[in-house]
């Protein structure tokens, strides 16, 4: 019976994972250590960047000379100016720790906003005040406040750490493992059984998704006991997005596992795909102000759409209808990866 054969392979793969104590333990320990490290070291603060949001201005990185701001402020080193068409757009990015301060360009008095939960914003405010003639002259400044709920950096970072752990586990747990089986002849022996390629790949995929979601739930609630994450939307919707993300990432792993017998080449391929995906999908930091082509490249990664959807639900209270574009892209990528993986799969080549 087809279902029975899938079930047997599903159980065998799970037992293999649970008996590997080093791999099993690291899947839990690694995200815990990352969350604890960032929580202790930065305490809700985004590392190092000083991004100055200005409006009205062309969207994206803007030429400093074109801004109607104090000359001393524009000449300050280590400031990156990011333009926004409207105040609402700029304040939305400020809430999500993607920029450190928002300033309205034009003649004095200058209106500006900071996020009280972001220490970098207070430093940027001091730099801005010091750049004015005579120092922090209150007659030249009008300070605004964010009226909506503020978001801690750890709340913004946490989904990225979980998604990154899911990405590595999916790609290496499927792509690398299957190639290793092919190299040591295990797949050739399975080929001689009634097991079909579809059944084998289905079992591998279901096993990995089960392990990914099991790990996700344990890590989520374990970290929540310590950091008390603020979730605006539905927790069920968040886990649904993570499930769709695990589908897409596992299907990508099947593409990498479809051919090849070289573990070294597979390792290089996995690193070539996973590391750019991690840095361009806003796991650690925002791409606000980055060149447009960088943002376009990031859209090719399922991790980007997964994190966009998760953060909108968690931080903004969005529903499934609001994140439907991300859901559609994840489902489309899953279908493409599965089709390509099934078409290319070989037991022994």
The DSSP code sequence of 205-271 is: HHHHHHHHHHHHHHHHHHHHHHH-----S-HHHHHHHHHHHHHHHHHHHHHHHSS---HHHHHHHHH
68-125 tens-digit pLDDT = 888 888 888 778 888 888 888 888 888 877 788 898 888 888 888 888 777 778 888 8
What is the pLDDT, as a whole number, of residue 100?
A: 84
The answer to whether residue 126 scores a pLDDT higher than 80 is yes
Please tell me whether residues 312 and 235 are part of one structural domain: yes
* DSSP type of residue 140: G
Domain membership of residue 189 (yes or no) is yes
Same-domain pairing of 10 and 58: no
Does position 30 have pLDDT exceeding 70, yes or no? no
Considering the domain architecture, whether residues 176 and 127 belong to the same structural domain is answered as no
Q: Which of 144, 179, 195 is the last residue of a domain?
A: 144
pLDDT for 24 equals: 63
pLDDT digits (tens, 9 = 90+) for 285-310: 777 766 777 788 889 999 999 999 99
Q: Which of 85, 115, 144 is the last residue of a domain?
A: 144
254 and 289 both lie in a single domain: yes
**What is the C-alpha to C-alpha distance for residues 294 and 289, in angstroms, rounded to an integer?**
10
The answer to whether residue 280 sits within a structural domain is yes
> What would the two tokens of residue 203 be?
């079992």
Please check whether residues 197 and 332 belong to one and the same domain: yes
Residue 281 confidence class, pLDDT cut points 50, 70, 90: confident
**How far is the C-alpha of 244 from the C-alpha of 337, rounded, in Å?**
13
What's the confidence (pLDDT) of residue 22? 54
The residue among 310, 285, 316, 283 whose CA lies nearest residue 92 is 316
81/349: higher pLDDT? 81
Neighbour count for residue 102 (Cβ, 10 Å): 27
Q: What is the pLDDT of residue 324?
A: 93
Residues 56, 122: one domain? Answer: yes
Question: Domain span at residue 88?
Answer: 51-144
Q: What's the structural domain count of the chain?
A: 2
Whether 258 and 159 share a structural domain? yes
Q: Are residues 36 and 56 in the same domain?
A: no
Asked whether the predicted pLDDT for residue 49 surpasses 60, the reply is no
Q: How do beta strands 101-104 and 80-83 pair? A: unpaired
Asked if the structure places residue 46 within a domain, the reply is no
In a domain, 111, yes or no: yes
Query: Is residue 238 in a domain?
Result: yes
* Chain centroid to CA 284: 7
Q: Same domain, yes or no, for 123 and 266?
A: no
Specify whether 196 is located in the same domain as 128. no
Query: Which of 101, 126, 144 is at the close of a domain?
Result: 144
pLDDT in tens, 301-335: 999 999 999 998 988 888 889 899 999 999 999 99
| 196 & 290 share domain | yes
The stretch 152-177 carries a mean pLDDT of 86
Residues 197 and 137 in one domain: no
Q: Quote the pLDDT of residue 307.
A: 93
Note whether residue 349 is domain-resident: no
SS3 54: strand
Phi, psi of 112 (to 5 degrees): -145, 160
Within-domain flag for 90: yes
Inside any domain, residue 235:
yes
């Amino acid at each position: 019976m087809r279902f029975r054969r899938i079930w047997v392979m599903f159980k065998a793969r799970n037992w293999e994972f649970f008996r590997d104590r080093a791999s099993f333990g690291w899947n839990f320990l690694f995200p815990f250590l990352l969350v604890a490290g960032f929580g202790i070291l930065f305490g809700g603060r985004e590392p190092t960047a000083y991004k100055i949001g200005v409006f009205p201005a062309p969207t994206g990185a803007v030429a400093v000379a074109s801004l109607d701001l104090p000359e001393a402020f524009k000449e300050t080193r280590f400031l990156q100016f990011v333009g926004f068409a409207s105040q609402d757009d700029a304040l939305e990015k400020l809430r999500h720790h993607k920029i450190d301060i928002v300033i309205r360009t034009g003649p004095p008095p200058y209106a500006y906003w900071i996020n009280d939960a972001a220490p970098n914003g207070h430093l940027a405010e001091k730099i801005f005040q010091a750049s004015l003639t005579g120092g922090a002259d209150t007659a030249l400044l009008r300070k605004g406040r964010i009226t909506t709920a503020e978001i801690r950096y750890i709340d913004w970072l946490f989904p990225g750490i979980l998604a990154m752990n899911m990405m590595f586990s999916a790609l290496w747990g499927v792509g690398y493992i299957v190639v290793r089986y092919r190299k040591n002849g295990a797949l050739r022996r399975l080929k001689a059984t009634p097991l079909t390629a579809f059944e084998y790949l289905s079992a591998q995929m279901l096993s990995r998704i089960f392990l990914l979601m099991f790990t996700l739930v344990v890590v989520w609630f374990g970290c929540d006991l310590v950091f008390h994450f603020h979730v605006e939307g539905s927790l069920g919707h968040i886990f649904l997005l993570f499930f769709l993300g695990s589908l897409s990432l596992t299907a990508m792993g099947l593409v990498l596992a479809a051919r090849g017998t070289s573990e070294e080449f597979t390792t290089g391929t996995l690193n070539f795909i996973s590391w750019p995906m991690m840095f361009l999908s806003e796991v650690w930091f925002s791409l606000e102000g980055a060149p447009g082509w960088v943002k376009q490249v990031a859209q090719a990664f399922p991790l980007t759409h997964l994190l966009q959807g998760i953060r909108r639900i968690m931080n903004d209270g969005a529903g499934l209808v609001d994140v439907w574009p991300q859901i559609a892209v994840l489902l489309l990528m899953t279908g493409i990866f599965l089709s390509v993986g099934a078409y290319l799969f070989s037991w022994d080549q």
